[in-house]
């Protein structure tokens, strides 16, 4: 730069700074705290100056700050979904800060009730409680009101209300798999992406959804805050918390196929600073599937203690005992041919009549929140969970059912245990550097998972059982089936520990009222410890063939947010995920993680003081280091070992998500969403073992859509009448397995599935403290399937009826 140019640049900079300083000195600030009638902070309430663009959402502690306001008299207006606005007059003076506090007429419980679906609520899964318009990521929240109105018991039924998310598999009838943006999440494990109260959780045996406060979804990359998680979505189940006023609810749910499900929910104070809550339910039901039945018990106790004015300690626990009939669906005709879905009744059951899958799960957690002041907060979470599974029955019909339906059944005995532990600490703060505002999060988390599994030998009268019997899935009367239960003796117990550790920091930088930047970085280490094998017959212990493996990666995220008005926000972001790979390269070295790059852009809108939200997002996700089976070994010979791989593949996922939500009053709300996804292989070597370029990945519907509407009459003579309707659409997709070049046999491994829609109708009535709600689901009795690999082909439920009677006190 030339000297005269430098001089002019410095003069221009000084003049700019002088102008900004003079302008700042001629402006004032308004701050305050908004609380509920019972003294609790009213978080994420809209506060703004009437007839101006100045506005904000209150922080988690109910505080707000409005800066850069010219001198004058203004009307300060407070609004929240479902509430009447409140207004106060305030005079702003140059260079001064005016304090204006509000006390809402509603208490904390009432504020929760009118929130309906949480359109203005930040997802707690974000760790930093960033306001929805400031979060450069598409999200979804299914509130307790929606869970109650739709009479939801399973997580999969709740997630149907989130755009772009679909239930794609029911694994053996005992667990669910979900898909979004082309990526799937399942039961648990070191890369688990399903959480409860921010803590990784195992969902074997189906988590109890009917007792939840909400279900939250962060779509896209969340590695910055959670490390090795799915690139498509993470899910957080939020349980109901204790309250300092006595109350509760008892209900009885009954429905088709013998469903009986009582639920008890009681909460209240034990002392001035100590409150409790206990939720429990028992579920007994048969099924539209022959032989299948469900017996479940779930209890969720919790305590909250206020240690002074600034510290809160929350203790939570839950216990689930879930005895289910394992169910691999109706099988498929796939021996040496294209897989065919058999034309059999929806109820056809092909496991043994005595098969069982028993899950026992217990967890406990402690959350400590300490607020230093209205700007700084420290949170600590410690948690543990133990899951034990004991199962026995026929193995899966995996590519070995003949074209005529004959199947030689083998047996499968399972006994597993998984112990999870989590430690997490987060520091949230707000501060300013000059005219620039900061909302920062600094934290660390540690997740350890120890898995145990057992190998078994099956014998009958001392003779090893290799083939149990033969059945025909098309004609059950063709063969006489066995009903005895062979002995199963555990031989080898394998223990597999893993640990993931992360340190992260992010900052939401408010450059102006309209322009913000979110930037963050995480360092993660994923350590898979060498397995231990214990021979239960000799008690001899050996080590597994794969040595301890430690993978580390940085996960950055940066986003630009532009908010031209108080209710509109445009954002664009880049983030990276990493995924752990199994196997070795041709040199015998353990494979490094794959880095997944995500680009996302969107616009979020809030209208009518937040009563209507309209969000649109698009994304582009590339895994350019997809590990595929190597075609040749190091010496140039053909490779036949699927564990020997190389980074020669790529997947690309492009899509669109649209959300339109309305909370027009306490009595009327609607939820609607649409998702489009195109997930395919984009680069392959096109040699034996590699995937087919351009082929869509399985279990990823191109289109999904959802719509729900509920209206409650609040005027005589029909006061208390509730009417609702829901529609859910899952588009065409592939089940089965993706094809590879040179595969043997040479038939297609894909199972094409058509799209389908289901419709639910609800009606109910509330009189004082008693309410009745009834629903008919799948009104048109639509038939379609969920498929896991090429064997678990599960028909969706038929038309069913369910009703709930409840009493609140």
Consecutive H or E run containing 728:
strand 721-730
633-642, Cβ contacts within 8 angstroms, sequence gap of 24 or more:
633/586, 634/586, 634/587, 638/688, 639/586, 639/689, 642/583, 642/689
Annotate 611-679 with three-state secondary structure.
Answer: CEEEEEEEEEEEEEEEEEECCECCCCCECCCCCEEEEEEEEEEEEEEEEEEEEEECCEEEEEEEEEEEE
86 shares its domain with 161: no
Window from 188-202, 526-540, 552-566, 706-720 with minimum mean pLDDT: 188-202
In a domain, 17, yes or no: no
Bond preceding residue 702 cis, omega within 30 of 0: no
Q: Which of 54, 82, 113 is the last residue of a domain?
A: 113
Contact status, residue 500 vs residue 525, Cβ threshold 8 Å: yes
Q: How far apart are CA 285 and CA 51, in angstroms?
A: 57
pLDDT greater at residue 44 or residue 215: 215
Residue 407 lies in a domain: no
Query: What is the number of residues in the chain?
Result: 809
Token pair for 88 = 């106060």
Residues 390 and 415 sit within 8 Å (Cβ to Cβ)? yes
Asked if residue 11 belongs to a domain, the reply is no
Q: Determine how β-strand 487-510 pairs with β-strand 436-460.
A: antiparallel
Token readout for 675 is 């998702």
**pLDDT confidence of residue 81:** 61
What pLDDT does residue 223 have? Answer: 87
Short-list 408, 413, 411, CA closest to 395: 411
**Residue 408 token pair:** 């030689």
Residue 633 falls inside a structural domain: yes
Find the range with the poorest average confidence among 41-45, 106-110, 795-799.
106-110
Same domain, 141 and 266: no
User: Does a structural domain hold residue 54?
Assistant: yes
Residue at a domain's end among 113, 143, 178: 113
Strand partners, 36: none
Give the residue numbers spanning the domain of 225.
124-238
| Residue 454 and residue 417 in contact, taking contact as beta carbons nearer than 8 Å | no
pLDDT in tens, 481-497: 999 999 999 999 999 99
Tokens of 149: 């109105």
Residue 705, helix vs strand vs coil: strand
State whether 224 and 245 are in the same domain: no
7 three-state secondary structure: helix
Distance CA 783, CA 753 (A): 11
Q: Residue 12 falls within a domain, yes or no?
A: no
Q: Do 484 and 618 belong together in one domain?
A: yes
Residues 76 and 204 in one domain: no
User: Three-class SS of residue 719?
Assistant: coil
Task: Check pLDDT > 90 for residue 48.
Answer: no
The enclosing domain of 188 has a CATH number of: 2.170.130.10
pLDDT, mean of residues 141-162: 93
Q: Among 586, 589, 593, which Cα is nearest to 631's?
A: 586
**pLDDT tens, position by position, 245-275:** 999 999 999 999 999 999 999 999 999 999 9
Lowest mean pLDDT among 26-35, 404-413, 618-627, 726-735: 26-35
d(CA 135, CA 133): 6
CA distances from 109 to 17, 38, 212, 652 (A): 48, 9, 15, 45
Which residue in this structure is represented by tokens 């606005």?
85
Q: Which of 2-11, 484-493, 533-542, 773-782 has the lowest mean pLDDT?
A: 2-11
Residue 83 pLDDT level (bands cut at 50, 70, 90): low
Cβ–Cβ under 8 Å, residues 582 and 592: no
> Distances from the Cα of 485 to the Cαs of 324, 394, 422, 468, in angstroms?
17, 11, 39, 10
- The CA distance from 633 to 644, in Å, is 8
Cα 575 → chain centroid: 19
CATH assignment of the domain containing 597: 2.40.170.20
Where among 61, 83, 113 does a domain terminate? 113
Fill in the DSSP letter of residue 173. G
Q: What is the pLDDT of residues 565-602, one digit of tens each?
A: 888 999 999 999 887 777 777 877 777 788 899 999 99
Please count the structural domains in the chain.
3
Strands 102-103 and 27-35: parallel
187 and 130 within one domain: yes
Q: Rounded to whole angstroms, how far apart are CA atoms 440 and 509?
A: 8
Confidence of residue 87 (pLDDT cuts 50, 70, 90): confident
Helix (H, G, I), strand (E, B) or coil at 201: coil
Among the residue ranges 1-15, 205-219, 596-610, 700-714, the one predicted with the least confidence is: 1-15
d(CA 31, CA 74): 14
Same domain for 327 and 207: no
Residue 23 has a pLDDT of: 47
CA–CA gap between residue 129 and residue 63 (Å, rounded): 13
Q: What is the pLDDT of residue 333?
A: 81
Per-residue pLDDT, 8? 53
Same domain? 305 vs 190: no
CA 236/CA 223 separation, integer angstroms: 15
Shared-domain flag, residues 228 and 253: no
Sequence-separated (6 or more) residues with CB below 8 Å from residue 621: 181, 182, 220, 221, 231, 596, 597, 598, 599, 652, 653, 654
At 99-151, the pLDDT tens digits run: 999 888 776 656 655 554 444 455 667 788 888 899 999 999 999 999 999 99
Tell me the per-residue pLDDT of 457-469, one tens digit each, with 9 for 90 and over: 999 998 999 899 9
Check which CATH number belongs to the domain holding 79 and give it.
Answer: 2.60.40.1120
In sequence order, the β-bridge partners of residue 619 are: 600, 655
Q: Give strand pairing partners of 489.
A: 457
696 part of a folded domain: yes
- Rounded CA gap, 761 and 777, in Å? 7
Q: How many CB atoms lie within 10 A of CB 452?
A: 17
The DSSP bridge partners found for residue 74 are: 90
- CB distance 481 to 471 below 8 Å: yes
Structure tokens at 311: 């510290």
Q: In this structure, are 444 and 506 located in the same domain?
A: yes
Q: What string of DSSP letters covers 235-266?
A: EEEEE----SS-EEEEEEEEEGGGEEEEEEEE
8 A C-beta contact, residue 467 and residue 410: yes
- Residue 354 token pair: 């005595």
Q: Are residues 157 and 232 in the same domain?
A: yes
Strand order in the sheet with 183-185: 165-170, 176-180, 183-185
4 membership: H or E segment, kind and range: helix 3-25
Q: 604: closest CA among 179, 57, 50, 47?
A: 57
The answer to which of 13-17, 238-242, 459-463, 521-525 has the lowest mean pLDDT is: 13-17
Instruction: Decide if 408 is inside a domain.
Output: no
Average pLDDT over residues 405-432: 94
Is pLDDT above 50 for 14? no
Contact indicator for 71, 95 with CB cutoff of 8 Å: no
| Residue 277 and residue 183 share a domain | no
């Amino acid at each position: 730069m030339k000297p005269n140019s430098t001089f002019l640049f410095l003069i221009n900079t000084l003049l700019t700074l002088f102008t900004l300083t003079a302008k700042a000195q001629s402006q004032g600030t308004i701050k305050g705290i908004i609380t509920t009638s019972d003294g609790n902070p009213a978080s994420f309430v809209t506060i703004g100056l009437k007839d101006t663009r100045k506005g904000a959402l209150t922080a988690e502690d109910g505080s707000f700050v409005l800066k850069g306001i010219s001198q004058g008299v203004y009307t300060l207006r407070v609004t929240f979904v479902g509430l009447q606005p409140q207004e106060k007059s305030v005079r702003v003076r140059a260079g001064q800060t005016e304090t204006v506090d509000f006390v809402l007429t509603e208490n904390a419980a009432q504020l929760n009730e009118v929130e309906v679906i949480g359109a203005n609520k930040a997802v707690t899964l974000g760790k930093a409680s960033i306001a929805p318009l400031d979060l450069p990521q598409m999200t979804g929240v299914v509130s307790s009101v929606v869970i109650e109105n739709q009479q939801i018991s399973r997580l999969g039924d709740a997630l149907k209300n989130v755009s772009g998310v679909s239930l794609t598999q029911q694994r053996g009838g005992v667990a669910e798999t979900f898909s979004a943006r082309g990526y799937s999440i399942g039961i648990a494990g070191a890369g688990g992406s399903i959480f409860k109260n921010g803590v990784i959780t195992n969902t074997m045996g189906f988590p109890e959804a009917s007792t939840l406060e909400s279900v939250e979804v962060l779509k896209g990359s969340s590695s910055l805050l959670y490390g090795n998680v799915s690139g498509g979505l993470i899910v957080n189940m939020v349980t109901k918390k204790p309250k300092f006023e006595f109350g509760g609810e008892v209900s009885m749910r009954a429905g088709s196929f013998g469903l009986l499900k009582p639920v008890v929910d009681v909460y209240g104070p034990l002392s001035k600073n100590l409150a409790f809550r206990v939720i429990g339910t028992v579920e007994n039901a048969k099924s539209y599937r022959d032989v299948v039945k469900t017996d479940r018990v779930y209890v969720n106790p919790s305590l909250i203690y206020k240690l002074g004015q600034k510290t809160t300690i929350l203790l939570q626990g839950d216990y689930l005992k879930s005895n289910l009939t394992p169910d691999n669906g109706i099988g498929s005709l796939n021996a040496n041919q294209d897989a065919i879905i058999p034309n059999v009744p929806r109820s056809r059951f092909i496991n043994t009549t005595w098969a069982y899958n028993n899950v026992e799960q217990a967890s406990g957690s402690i959350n400590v929140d300490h607020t230093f002041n209205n700007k700084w907060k420290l949170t600590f979470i410690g948690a543990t969970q133990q899951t034990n599974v004991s199962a026995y029955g026929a193995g899966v019909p995996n590519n070995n059912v003949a074209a005529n339906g004959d199947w030689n059944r083998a047996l499968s005995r399972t006994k597993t245990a998984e112990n999870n532990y989590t430690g997490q600490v987060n520091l949230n703060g707000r501060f300013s550097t000059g005219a620039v505002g900061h909302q920062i999060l600094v934290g660390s988390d540690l997740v350890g998972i120890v898995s145990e599994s057992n190998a078994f030998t099956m014998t009958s009268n001392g003779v090893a059982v290799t083939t149990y019997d033969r059945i025909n899935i098309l004609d059950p009367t063709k063969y006489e089936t066995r009903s005895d239960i062979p002995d199963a003796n555990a031989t080898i117990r394998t223990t597999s520990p893993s640990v993931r550790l992360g340190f992260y920091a992010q900052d939401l930088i408010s450059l102006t009222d309209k322009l913000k930047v979110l930037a963050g970085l995480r360092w993660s280490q994923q350590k898979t410890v060498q397995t231990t094998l214990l021979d239960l017959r000799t008690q001899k212990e050996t080590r597994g063939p794969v040595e301890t493996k430690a993978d580390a990666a940085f996960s950055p995220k940066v986003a630009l947010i532009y908010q031209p008005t108080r209710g509109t926000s445009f954002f664009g972001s880049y983030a990276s995920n990493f995924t752990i790979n199994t196997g070795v390269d041709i040199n015998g070295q353990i494979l490094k993680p794959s880095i997944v790059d995500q680009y996302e852009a969107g616009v979020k809108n809030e209208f009518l003081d937040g009563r209507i939200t309209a969000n649109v997002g698009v994304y582009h996700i590339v895994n350019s280091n997809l590990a595929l089976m190597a075609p040749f070994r190091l010496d140039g010979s053909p490779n036949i070992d699927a564990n020997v791989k190389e980074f020669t593949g790529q997947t690309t996922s492009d899509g669109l998500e649209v959300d339109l939500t309305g909370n027009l009053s306490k009595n009327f709300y609607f939820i609607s969403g649409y998702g489009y996804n195109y997930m395919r292989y984009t680069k392959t070597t096109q040699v034996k073992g590699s995937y087919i370029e351009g082929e869509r990945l399985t279990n990823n519907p191109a289109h999904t859509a959802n719509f729900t509407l509920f209206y409650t009459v609040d005027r005589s003579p029909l006061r208390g009448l509730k009417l609702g309707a829901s529609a859910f659409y899952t588009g065409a997709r592939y089940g089965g397995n993706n094809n590879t070049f040179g595969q043997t046999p040479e038939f297609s491994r894909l199972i094409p599935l058509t799209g389908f829609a289901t419709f639910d109708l609800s009606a109910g009535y509330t009189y004082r403290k008693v309410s009745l709600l009834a629903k008919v689901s799948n009104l048109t009795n639509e038939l379609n399937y969920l498929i896991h690999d090429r064997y678990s082909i599960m028909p969706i439920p038929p038309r069913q009826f369910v009703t709930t009677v409840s009493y609140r006190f």
